[in-house]
Amino acid sequence: MSQIEQKEVQTKMEVLSVFNDLTTAPFGAVILYKLTYLDTRGMEKVVIVASFDDGNIELPWGVGIDSTDALQSASREYSRFFRGSPEKRRNPFREVLRG
């Protein structure tokens, strides 16, 4: 049986942007979070997380190295999840990307 080593990880998460004036999702908001953490060698890393909050539940949809990358990732996953559904046309991440 192998022994699992536990390490304490320092992380910091902050809201980077909130887009709540969407036409595709009038009752929701796209939220970008900036997650900063130390990797196993002690180097600081930054990841951007794109989530959608519909007023009831907030779910992460994409992760990237910058805001555009995270929004593109989230847009692809959202479209894939709602494939064949009317919701696919109402992709809030695509709306934010189009500006």
Q: State the 10-residue block means of pLDDT for the chain, 99 residues long.
A: 67 95 89 92 92 94 98 96 80 94
CA distance 92 to 99: 11
Burial category of 74 from C-beta neighbours within 10 Å (exposed 0-12, middle 13-18, buried 19 and up): buried
pLDDT of residue 87: 67
**Cα 99 to Cα 73, 82, 83, 92, distances in angstroms:** 16, 22, 23, 11
| Sheet of strand 44-53, all strands in order from the earlier edge strand to the far edge | 11-19, 29-38, 44-53, 58-64
pLDDT > 90: percent of the chain = 67
CA distance 91 to 76: 9
> Domain locations in the chain?
11-98
CA distance 81 to 63: 16
pLDDT in tens, 48-72: 999 999 989 999 999 999 999 999 9
